[in-house]
Amino acid sequence: MSVAEIKQAVQRLPPAELAEISAFVADCEAHTWEHQIDADFADDGRLRSVLDEVRNDLRAGRLEQMP
């Protein structure tokens, strides 16, 4: 099934089913986002150095609580 066919099918859904599919898509997006964040901050992730720097700053007392 193509994206165009899916879009057409979604447009024909009654409101309750549209809400159900919307919640499903939102859940899929959230899962994908969480997976990406986990990967980015993993030991070999692209943002791991940022996390390590923040942790070091916290330990050294170089960061303050925000008001």
At position 57, the amino acid (one-letter code) is D
Confidence tier at 64 by pLDDT (50, 70, 90): confident
Per residue in 50-63, pLDDT tens? 999 999 999 999 98
Can you tell me the distance from the alpha carbon of 58 to that of 67, in angstroms, rounded to the nearest whole number?
Answer: 16
- Whether the model clears a pTM of 0.75, i.e. scores above it, the answer is no
Residue 19 DSSP SS3: helix
